[in-house]
Amino acid sequence: MNDVIVVTSGKGGVGKTTTTANVGTGLAASGKKVVLIDTDIGLRNLDVVMGLENRIVYNLVDVVEGNCRVKQALIRDKRYPGLYLLPSAQTRDKSAVNESQMKKLIEQLREQFDYVLLDCPAGIEQGFKNAIAGANRALVVTTPEVSAIRDADRIIGLLEAASMERIDLVINRMRFDMVRRGDMMTVDDVADILSVPLIGVIPDDESVVIATNQGEPLVGNHTMAGKAYYNLCMRILGQEVPYLGCERSISFWTKVSGIFHRSQEGRV
Amino acid sequence: MRLPNFFRRRTSREVAKDRLKILLISDRVNCSPEVLELIKKDIARVISRYMLIDAQNMEIQISKSALRGRGGKNPSLYANVPILDLHKIS
């Protein structure tokens, strides 16, 4: 059975859309047939992050309401064979779609694609319920901040209550220079608190902002975030990939060299 | 190398971790820290009838399930009660 993965977080602005774009692109780049669905009706953004905003004709609500066929609404990403986007509607709101309509649509797409990725809106209301309705896997995105972790915990509780088959944790915007100073929770701290399996750690990297500016996912390129997203994709595909450099623990020697190489701080 | 505790300032990482742990316990069970404190006192009172316990250092915790995400949706309450004397005759 092909996987339907919802990317969710509870809190807004932690990187759900960026994660969806990069994971989707990474999976497509490794030869899978992938469709990305933006479920954030009224506040669509996956299209701009993917750089496909000029090619939208029909959207999710049009498909659900029967104004067009699914195939007509799918935008093919010309950069990667097998990568498609189903954009959200910008002029409607979350109540335009319900859970059974989402399930029906996903069942249809699941037969044609290896991976269906759903970009979930922030919050725990109707939009969240729609996004998780047809999914069998979840990526919970959080940042190492108290508010984001609290919301992630709430989301994990709701996903468990909804009998989600598999829930994995993605920690975004790690700053290892701050971890070294004792001013940011470590990857292990966050993973322990939330007690779900960790599947990816993305360093805080300005190249993410640059990539978003250009509408070009950075997965697989030479940047730290690009490499981290690539590793995340490989783990989703079932491979064992070690965590980058100092992603996990800070050894004694890292600390010592950190003192002598202050100029390299933030390199992660 | 770490300096002894009394020289070391608590890092903001430790503060965040401790705050979150307490916060999530009450979030998960929808139960305030005050209520947990009352439960703790009641448990201590009952057990004290049978043995001498160290009520100051007992801990209680409510978690969603022992192994999260692997079956067992019912929350459970864990109490860690240090016993000072098992054979207290009251």
Domains of chain A: 3-264 (3.40.50.300)
3-state class (DSSP) for residue B66: coil
Put simply, whether A188 touches B (Cβ < 8 Å) is no
pTM: 0.80
Task: Tell the burial category of B29 from Cβ atoms under 10 Å away from its Cβ (0-12, 13-18, 19+).
Answer: middle
Query: What residue ranges in A48-95 does DSSP mark as E strands?
Result: 75-76, 83-86
Put simply, whether B5 touches A (Cβ < 8 Å) is no
Least CB-CB distance to B73: which of A160, A167, A184? A160
Angle in degrees, 0-180, between the axes of helices A126-133 and A99-110, rounded to the nearest 10: 30
Displacement of CA A48 from its chain's centroid (Å): 15
Of A221, A228, A112, A135, nearest to A176 by C-alpha is A228
Least CB-CB distance to A157: which of B11, B21, B64? B64
Phi and psi torsions of A115, nearest 5°: -135, 130
Predicted confidence (pLDDT) at residue A58 exceeds the cutoff of 90: yes
Q: What is the pLDDT of residue A188?
A: 95
Q: What is the pLDDT of residue A247?
A: 47
Displacement of CA A247 from its chain's centroid (Å): 19
Average pLDDT over residues A85-110: 95
Residues in chain A, total: 268
With an 8 Å Cβ cutoff, are B68 and A186 in contact? Answer: no
- Residue A205 — pLDDT band, cuts 50, 70, 90? very high
Longest distance between any two alpha carbons in chain B, whole Å: 49
The Cα A175–Cα A184 span in angstroms is 7
A-to-B residue pairs, Cβ atoms closer than 8 angstroms: 48
User: CA torsion sign, B35 to B73 to A139 to A89?
Assistant: negative
Chain mean pLDDT for chain A: 92
Residues in chain B, total: 90
Q: What is the pLDDT of residue A60?
A: 97
The Cα A225–Cα A244 span in angstroms is 10
Average pLDDT over residues A226-255: 78
Put simply, whether B27 touches A (Cβ < 8 Å) is yes
The Cα A167–Cα A191 span in angstroms is 12
Q: What is the pLDDT of residue A264?
A: 40
Q: What is the pLDDT of residue A1?
A: 73
Predicted confidence (pLDDT) at residue A168 exceeds the cutoff of 50: yes
- Residue B70 — pLDDT band, cuts 50, 70, 90? very low
Put simply, whether A153 touches B (Cβ < 8 Å) is yes
Q: Is the ipTM of this complex over 0.95?
A: no
Q: What is the pLDDT of residue B81?
A: 92
Average pLDDT over residues A120-144: 97
CB–CB of A162/B32 below 8 Å?
Answer: no
Q: Which helix (H) or strand (E) holds A158?
A: helix A146-161
The Cα B38–Cα A115 span in angstroms is 49
Q: What is the pLDDT of residue B88?
A: 67
Predicted confidence (pLDDT) at residue B76 exceeds the cutoff of 70: yes
Put simply, whether A177 touches B (Cβ < 8 Å) is no
Determine the residue of chain B that is closest to A190 in CA distance: B17
Q: What is the pLDDT of residue A265?
A: 39
Q: What is the pLDDT of residue A250?
A: 45
Predicted confidence (pLDDT) at residue A257 exceeds the cutoff of 60: no
Name chain B contacts of A193, Cβ cutoff 8 Å.
Answer: 17, 20-21, 24
- Residue B59 — pLDDT band, cuts 50, 70, 90? confident
Predicted confidence (pLDDT) at residue A244 exceeds the cutoff of 70: yes
Determine the residue of chain A that is closest to B2 in CA distance: A252
3-state class (DSSP) for residue A9: coil
The Cα A104–Cα A116 span in angstroms is 13
Of A41, A60, A48, nearest to A18 by C-alpha is A48
- Residue A5 — pLDDT band, cuts 50, 70, 90? very high
Lowest mean pLDDT among A66-75, A237-246, B41-50: A237-246
Q: What is the pLDDT of residue A57?
A: 96
Of A134, A143, A155, A116, nearest to A8 by C-alpha is A155
Put simply, whether B68 touches A (Cβ < 8 Å) is yes
Q: What is the pLDDT of residue B73?
A: 57
Q: Could you identify the residue written with the tokens 């299209």?
A: A47
CB–CB of A218/A226 below 8 Å?
Answer: yes
Determine the residue of chain B that is closest to A155 in CA distance: B28
Average pLDDT over residues A3-31: 97
With an 8 Å Cβ cutoff, are A193 and B12 in contact? Answer: no
With an 8 Å Cβ cutoff, are B13 and A150 in contact? Answer: no
CA distance B23 to chain A (A): 8
Question: Which residue in B1, B9, B24, B70 has the most chain A C-beta atoms within 10 A of its own C-beta, making it the best mutation to test that interface?
Answer: B24
